[in-house]
């Protein structure tokens, strides 16, 4: 047996999670819940501090879950020199895009380099960060093997893409099937053994490249279909047809149709970013992925379309955008979560302010917009009530949080631009966008 097969055969192992964000923290809590010793690593000292106080910084993870994990032995640290203590190390760090839409693997590379400095025989390393096919073998493996140890002999190396859906109450870490691909059959077996401790269904695939591509396909499928429905929204608006009614009608077909809904643009860490990881990699093989890039262009243009509809709505009611008070209802990228990553509402905020509007926002899940997100734009959420709605010139529904009462909006906001289909039926002060 290899050293890692022996180490991972123990009933209880020490698991290290690198990156305690929307992916890493739920995974860490799940391992702790199942009786494994867990250490979380993060470069942000505020996260370990909050966790050790029993505080959650993700709105859909209750603080009680943190306290239970702490009682079970969970700890968090910024001390990456302790990586060598763990039997399994799981990398859950961001993979953003650079300014030219090229992959930025700096977080993955730095995490891997930190592991390489502590790597010992018997450990397993799993990359969960979404990336292009080949990353595990072409980027991660050489960094780790520079230590003198070999993947498949001394340590195991796998790719197992995260499949988190923030705020989903039906599917969580434990019951979302887990894909695993290894650089060798022994690595694959070790990866399956690791995740089978905490995941109901583990799905092995033949290679890390298959697992990497499968994750991209999942998100590109969504991005392309959202691009399609966003383009349909542009058409139906000109034709005087309610796109949301059209989608609901089409969704009554019990086969061959999946409902996707339009919005003010794409948000979250995956869907606005992942397609461009593949388009970038495709150029290495001499292929221009036109279909994927077209969907990206359509989705990327939606915030400007929403701004143009807002200008038209104000003009129709005798007002200019410059000097108008715009109230953004929702600043998070998704309903009922506190996640700002790539939120199109932030683009709307910037776009309106750049055109001279006064912009406020209301989001019960995000009390403040961190300065690091918007530079000099300092904003604090206003309360959602009739007075807040009445005080604006136009309320723009950017995120359909459950806390937003459609009737209260319709009765109190002087003018509404609805990008989420929250207000249905013909209303003279409601514009669709």
DSSP one-letter string for 378-399? --BPPP-SHHHHHHSSEEEE-S
Structure confidence at residue 274 (pLDDT): 84
CA 396 to CA 339: how far, in whole Å? 19
Structure confidence at residue 167 (pLDDT): 78
Q: Give the gyration radius of the chain's Cα atoms.
A: 23
Which pTM value belongs to this model? 0.92
Domains defined along the chain, listed by start: 3-205 (3.40.50.720), 223-432 (3.40.50.720)
Structure confidence at residue 377 (pLDDT): 59
| Residue 167 burial by Cβ neighbours in a 10 Å radius (0-12, 13-18, 19+) | middle
For 158, list phi and psi in degrees, rounded to 5: -135, 160
Structure confidence at residue 414 (pLDDT): 96
- List, by residue number, the catalytic residues: 270
Residue indicated by tokens 């509809």:
309
Structure confidence at residue 382 (pLDDT): 97
Strand partners, 155: 151
Of 384, 270, 273, nearest in space to 329 by CA: 384
* Token code pair at residue 198: 């905490």
CA 430 to CA 413: how far, in whole Å? 9
Average pLDDT by stretches of 10, the chain with 433 residues: 88 96 96 96 97 94 96 96 97 89 93 98 97 97 97 98 87 94 97 97 98 96 95 94 95 96 88 86 91 91 96 96 98 92 93 96 92 63 97 97 96 96 85 85
* Token code pair at residue 217: 């396909």
Structure confidence at residue 376 (pLDDT): 52
Instruction: Kindly give the pairing relationship between strand 178-182 and strand 156-159.
Output: antiparallel
Distance of CA 351 to the CA centre of its chain: 23
CA 197 to CA 37: how far, in whole Å? 12
Instruction: Kindly give the pairing relationship between strand 430-432 and strand 416-418.
Output: parallel
Q: Please work out, in degrees rounded to the nearest 5, the angle formed at the alpha carbon of residue 160 by the alpha carbons of 155 and 161.
A: 145
């Amino acid at each position: 047996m290899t050293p890692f097969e022996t180490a991972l055969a123990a009933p209880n192992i020490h698991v290290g999670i690198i990156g305690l964000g929307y992916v890493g923290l739920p995974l860490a809590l799940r391992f702790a819940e199942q009786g494994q010793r867990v250490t979380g690593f993060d470069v942000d000292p505020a996260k370990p501090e909050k966790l050790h106080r029993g505080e959650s910084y993700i709105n859909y993870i209750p603080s009680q879950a943190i306290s239970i994990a702490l009682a079970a032995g969970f700890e968090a640290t910024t001390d990456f020199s302790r990586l060598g203590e763990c039997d399994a190390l799981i990398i859950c760090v961001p993979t953003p895009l650079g300014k030219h839409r090229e992959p930025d693997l700096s977080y993955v590379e730095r995490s891997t380099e930190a592991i390489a400095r502590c790597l010992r025989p018997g450990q397993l390393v799993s990359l969960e960060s979404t990336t292009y096919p080949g990353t595990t073998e072409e980027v991660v493996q050489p960094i780790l093997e520079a230590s003198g140890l070999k993947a498949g002999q001394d340590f195991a190396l796998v790719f197992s893409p995260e499949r988190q859906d923030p705020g989903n109450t039906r599917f969580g870490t434990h019951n979302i099937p887990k894909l695993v691909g290894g650089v060798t059959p022994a690595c694959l077996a070790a990866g399956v053994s690791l995740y089978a401790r905490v995941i109901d269904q583990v799905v092995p695939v033949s290679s890390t490249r298959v697992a990497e591509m499968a994750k991209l396909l999942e998100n590109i499928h969504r991005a392309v279909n959202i691009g399609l429905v966003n383009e349909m929204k542009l058409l139906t608006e000109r034709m005087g047809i309610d796109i949301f009614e059209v989608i609901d009608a089409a969704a009554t077909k019990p086969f061959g149709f999946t409902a996707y809904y339009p919005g003010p643009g794409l948000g979250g860490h995956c869907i606005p970013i992942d397609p461009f990881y593949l388009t970038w990699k495709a150029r290495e093989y001499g292929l221009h992925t036109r279909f994927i890039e077209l969907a990206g262009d359509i989705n990327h243009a939606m915030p400007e379309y929403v701004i143009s509809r807002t200008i038209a709505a104000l003009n129709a009611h005798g007002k200019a955008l410059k000097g108008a008070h715009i109230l953004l209802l929702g600043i998070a990228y998704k309903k009922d979560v506190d996640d700002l990553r790539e939120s199109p509402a932030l683009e709307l905020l910037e776009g309106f302010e750049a055109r001279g509007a006064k912009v406020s926002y209301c989001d019960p899940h995000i009390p403040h917009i961190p300065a690091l997100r918007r530079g000099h734009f300092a904003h604090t959420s206003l309360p959602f009530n009739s007075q807040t709605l009445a005080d604006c010139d136009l309320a723009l529904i950017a995120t359909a949080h459950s806390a937003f009462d459609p009737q209260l909006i319709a009765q109190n906001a002087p003018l509404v631009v609805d990008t989420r289909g929250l207000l249905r039926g013909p209303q003279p002060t409601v514009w669709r966008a």
